[in-house]
Amino acid sequence: MELLNYVYPNDIHAHWSLMIVIYPYITGVVAGAFIVSALAHVFHVKALQPVAKFALIFALSWALFVTAPLLNHLGHPERALNMLFTPNFVGPSMMSGFGYIYMSYSILLIFEILVIYRYELTVMKQSMSGAKRLLYDLLTLGTNDATQESRKRDHKVAFVLAAIGIPLACTLHGYVGFIFGAVKSVDWWFTPLMPIIFLLSASVSGIAGMILFYIGIKKITGKIHEIPTETIKTMVQLLWAFFIFDFLFEMIEIAVHAYGGTEGWHVIKAALSGPLYFSFWTMQVKILSVIPFIALMILSLKNVSRNTLLLVAPIVSFMLLAQVLFMRWNVVIGGQVMAKSERGFAVFHPQFWEKEGIAVTIVMLVAPIVTLWVLSKIFPLWESKIDKEF
């Protein structure tokens, strides 16, 4: 089919902007990081214990910014709570449950953190006074109980919370995939694989983010020798495992579309060889999937030296973080570029300085990192002596 570029007049410009690209991105990092902490807390993966606490704080620092791009995108952000007060459960609208799921997850995450840290903060606050003491009193909910029994109780509660958290974190992100996967008017989105791909890519971005920041922070603070090789190795293997399935499903989706060869595929094919060629084939698939895939395979299966591991793992992680960002772009913007007229492409040209532009996007992606730094001043990120005693 030859596309002679006719687009319905209301659809000439993509309406969902960069904000909707980074919203699933941020949500994905949150869900992925939580899975690492759950593996440590629920499944007792020993090698992941050193990053178990870091995973939670990392998840929280991103979770706090999930709604920022959404609120910036809404035409009436002051009415955002309508989503909680008058949710459309009759439709049902796939978006209307998001407020509830995100809220439940955030509350659970905060309680999980407070419970996990309670004993340590209680011990820490003994030597504090003034405002700092007040803050720690607040975070420990006023308790001074530092007995071993209370610690055991904390661990039980944390175990239960983390166990509930796993399906909730999966729901949170699988659900974001559903928001796109349920739109039948856009062939590029309308696939049952969409929630699965979103979930897997979320795990990839979360684990990759943790590897990058774990090694990065340790390097900057000059404590890289503290990183156990086993921990990084396990995280790299975990990343590879998730990425195998992520990449597999991304390619299966295209393959099934292509083999089916429906009318929708003709539009998708034209877009993938036209406006999306660079961002999909060149970036998402060739550079940012194939290269990390091979690198992760070698790191996971071969006995590479510690230095190689610590050098290559963050680079690969960075590439995969970029891969997931490109994937979000290709889904969100790509789906809108493939115009509903089936005869052409819509356009999307983000400006640097505009309400939903590039500058704001960068700020929203940097804000969680700054938040992580602030939170690290309050919550000790790494496994302490106290943790090891228990």
Partner 1 sequence: MEIDQGFIDKDRRGFIEKVLRGSLKGSLLLLIPMHSDLFAQVLNEEKDKIISLIDPKDTRKNYAFMVDVGACIGCGSCCVADRKENHVPEGSYRTWVERYVIDIYNTVYVDAPNGGEDGYTHMREDIKEPIKNAFYVPKLCNMCQEPSCVQVCPVAATFKTPDGFVLVDSTHCVACGYCVQACPYGVRFINNETHTADKCTWCYHRVSKGKLPACVNACPTGARKFGDLNDPNSEVAKIYNSKKILKVLKKQLGNEPVLYYLGANEEVI
Chain residues binding partner 1 by CB under 8 A are 2, 4, 6, 8-11, 15-16, 70, 73-77, 79-80, 82-83, 86-88, 90-96, 98, 179, 182-186, 335-336, 339-343
Question: In the beta sheet, which residues pair with residue 343?
Answer: 6
Query: Among residues 127 and 185, whose Cβ is nearest to partner 1?
Result: 185
Report d(CA 384, CA 390) in Å as an integer: 10
DSSP of 310-334 = HHHHHHHHHHHHHHHHHHHHHHHHH
Report d(CA 384, CA 381) in Å as an integer: 9
Q: Measured from the CB of residue 308, what is the shortest distance to partner 1 in angstroms?
A: 45
Q: Measured from the CB of residue 257, what is the shortest distance to partner 1 in angstroms?
A: 16
3-state secondary structure of 224: helix
Return the HEC string of 203-221: HHHHHHHHHHHHHHHHHHC
Query: Among residues 15 and 133, whose Cβ is nearest to partner 1?
Result: 15
Query: Among residues 68 and 83, whose Cβ is nearest to partner 1?
Result: 83
Q: Are 119 and 386 in contact (CB under 8 A)?
A: yes
Query: Among residues 74 and 254, whose Cβ is nearest to partner 1?
Result: 74
Query: Among residues 77 and 192, whose Cβ is nearest to partner 1?
Result: 77
Q: Measured from the CB of residue 271, what is the shortest distance to partner 1 in angstroms?
A: 16
Query: Among residues 189 and 379, whose Cβ is nearest to partner 1?
Result: 189
Report d(CA 194, CA 181) in Å as an integer: 5
Q: Measured from the CB of residue 180, what is the shortest distance to partner 1 in angstroms?
A: 9
Q: Measured from the CB of residue 278, what is the shortest distance to partner 1 in angstroms?
A: 24
Q: Measured from the CB of residue 341, what is the shortest distance to partner 1 in angstroms?
A: 6
Residue from 180, 242, 159, 199 nearest 31 by CA: 199
